Structure 1
Amino acid sequence: MKTIVLIGAGNMGGALLQGWIGSWQHEAAFNVIDPVAEASDRYPGVAFHTEAAALPAGLKPDVVILAVKPDKVVPALKEVAPHIGPATCIVSVAAGVGIDTIGTALPAGTPIARIMPNIGAMAGYAVSAGFAGPDVPQATEALLDDMFSAIGPMCWVENEDDLHTVTAISGSGPAYFFAFCETLRDAAMAHGLPAATAETLAVGTAITAGRLLEGSPTPEDLRHKVTSPNGTTAAGLAALARDDRLAHLLDRTVDAAKARSVELSGAPKT
């Protein structure tokens, strides 16, 4: 049985925990540290503690997951330090805190990984991307892959700096789709539809597109299937693509979000 310590059971940490309990087909013992932690019927068999000092004596977990705000990562590690063994892997889901910074609070050689699940975790379906530090054994990386794949698609990047792009795509990406929904709704209203009807159609269409994407090889494949030559969809897509405006807009969007991620991390711009 694997032993997992989760530090932080707020929106993200709580969502991850609920997803693992419901979907991860692996025998594991969870200990949760959170200042306002309370046992809940939603988390059967999970031990909750309000501070690291309350963890069972001698506990050396396989994985410690940091689901706290970036400025709390190092303090949280210092509190849980007595329970970190040489094989304990530290996994941070906090944005902008690099492995070098995390390592300042740990003994040399401690396995460290960063994994960035997105807000979909709150709906039971998160897209995640991670970077495993050089001290993370393959078996541990496989365990982490198994954990995060249980709540949605999981992939790994080869360079830690690529997590800035991950943040700009899957981290911030849901908001881009929300903004597109808003704009499509507003366009429907501008063309005469009542507000409630416009909202229903715009949001429902986004959900429809997402469900279709789940079963399709590629977005291009779906786009071709739903676009009749010289039809209404073709006309609308042509307007979106004119002068590469959509491509340029999204490139600027990702560039801005990525630059902000770099800025927040304190890393030098490249």
Structure 2
Amino acid sequence: MSDGQLPRSLVLAGAGKMGGAMLEGWLGAGLPDGAARVLDPAPSEAMAALARAGRIRLGAEAGAALPEVLVLAIKPQGLDEAAAALRANAGPQTLVVSILAGKTVADLKRALPEAQAVVRAMPNLPAAIGQGATGAYASPGTSDAQKATADRLLACNGVVEWVGDEALIDAVTALSGSGPAYVFHLVEAMAKAGEAAGLEPGLAGRLARATVTGAGALLAQSDLAAGTLRENVTSKGGTTAAALEVLMGPDGLTPLLTRAVAAAKRRAGELSG
């Protein structure tokens, strides 16, 4: 989408693993020293070190001007308890970016009644190393400039894809939000299959891990579709073709993952209420 700018002022509520990773991405992308203020009841030593170095500010500041952006990275179940303190950082012109799983735009506006522009985002674990996949939705009160700012912030941690219907955030959660766990389990399953074929467990695990990480790196560097890459490594009548007859059969990987993603989407809807 259109090029967005990093905000001049930002409040990050919650600097745990994901919030902290996002902050590191913003600072690495050029967020000015002191532009970010972090609200966390128990800041980590990493946050304290950034504050000592003048990179960020820690804690509430009496009389502080409303920030351009408020990013919510607290535990979802803590929203209601934190709402009173957060309201001082969310005015009509403030862009609210939330990564709180299960908290809808309506939930966020009830907690922060002056907020007009709300973006819901669902990052995933690889965001911690700048390789994340984030799905995002912008509420109707969000301007194009604010959406571009949100896109710029989220892109500091990887790929960003926007959906036009908030209900699709549940599908994003089921596919990419939970997806890293599916890949990790694939490595486990491949290792077990290698053991069953006669390999020593440690060797099977190392080969499975290297195979998946290598295939992922190749996929990231190639412009070819995943299906084309699969075809390119499959010789007619060969060993890969024999395995794919099982994996692509009626009880194979696609129907299995379809059921798994549907189950995750269903649960995401239940958590959203």
Normalising by the residue count of structure 1, what TM-score does the alignment of the two structures yield? 0.91
Q: Residue 267 of structure 2 aligns with which residue? A: 260
**Inter-CA distance 83–241: structure 2 relative to 1 (3 Å threshold):** closer
Q: Residue 49 of structure 2 aligns with which residue? A: 40
Alignment of 1:57-76 (within 5 A): 57-76=63-82
Q: Residue 192 of structure 1 aligns with which residue? A: 198
Contact 1:31 1:46 in 2 (8 A): yes
Contact 1:188 1:198 in 2 (8 A): yes
Q: Residue 117 of structure 1 aligns with which residue? A: 123
Q: 1:50-105 CA deviation, whole Å, 9 max, x = no partner?
A: xxxx2252321111000011111233232121232221011110100000111112
Moved more, 254-263 or 116-125: 116-125
Q: 2:49 is matched by which residue type in structure 1?
A: S
Q: 1:241 is matched by which residue type in structure 2?
A: M
SS in 2 for 1:202: helix
Which of 188, 199, 223 is the matching residue for 1:182? Answer: 188
**Inter-CA distance 44–16: structure 2 relative to 1 (3 Å threshold):** farther
**Inter-CA distance 110–75: structure 2 relative to 1 (3 Å threshold):** farther
Contact 2:14 2:72 in 1 (8 A): yes
Provide the rounded CA distance (Å) in 1 between the counterparts of 2:160 and 2:62: 31
Shift of 1:121: 1.9
Contact 1:39 1:47 in 2 (8 A): no
SS in 2 for 1:71: helix
* 2:253 aligned with 1:246: yes
Contact 1:118 1:127 in 2 (8 A): yes
Which of 10, 16, 40 is the matching residue for 1:10? Answer: 16
Shift of 1:20: 1.8
Provide the rounded CA distance (Å) in 2 between the counterparts of 1:58 and 1:151: 28
Shift of 1:128: 0.3
Shift of 1:109: 5.8
Provide the rounded CA distance (Å) in 2 between the counterparts of 1:167 and 1:225: 31
Shift of 1:173: 0.6
Contact 1:91 1:112 in 2 (8 A): yes
Q: 1:170-210 CA deviation, whole Å, 9 max, x = no partner?
A: 11111111111101001101111111111110000010011
Q: 2:228 is matched by which residue type in structure 1?
A: D
Contact 1:127 1:152 in 2 (8 A): yes
Q: Residue 158 of structure 1 aligns with which residue? A: 164
Normalising by the residue count of structure 2, what TM-score does the alignment of the two structures yield? 0.90
Q: 1:25-46 CA deviation, whole Å, 9 max, x = no partner?
A: 4547111000111422598611
Contact 2:90 2:115 in 1 (8 A): no
Moved more, 55-64 or 200-209: 55-64
Contact 2:129 2:157 in 1 (8 A): no
Q: Residue 230 of structure 2 aligns with which residue? A: 223
Provide the rounded CA distance (Å) in 2 between the counterparts of 1:128 and 1:136: 18
Which of 93, 96, 104 is the matching residue for 1:87? Answer: 93
**Inter-CA distance 56–109: structure 2 relative to 1 (3 Å threshold):** closer
Q: Could you say what the CA RMSD is over the residues aligned between the two structures, in angstroms?
A: 1.8
Provide the rounded CA distance (Å) in 2 between the counterparts of 1:113 and 1:40: 30
Identity within the alignment, %: 39
Q: 2:184 is matched by which residue type in structure 1?
A: F
Q: 1:234 is matched by which residue type in structure 2?
A: A
Which of 215, 218, 224 is the matching residue for 1:212? Answer: 218
Q: 1:231-262 CA deviation, whole Å, 9 max, x = no partner?
A: 21111111111225222111110111111111
Provide structure 1 residue ranges, at least 5 long, that are not aligned to the other structure: none
Moved more, 70-79 or 176-185: 70-79
SS in 1 for 2:58: strand
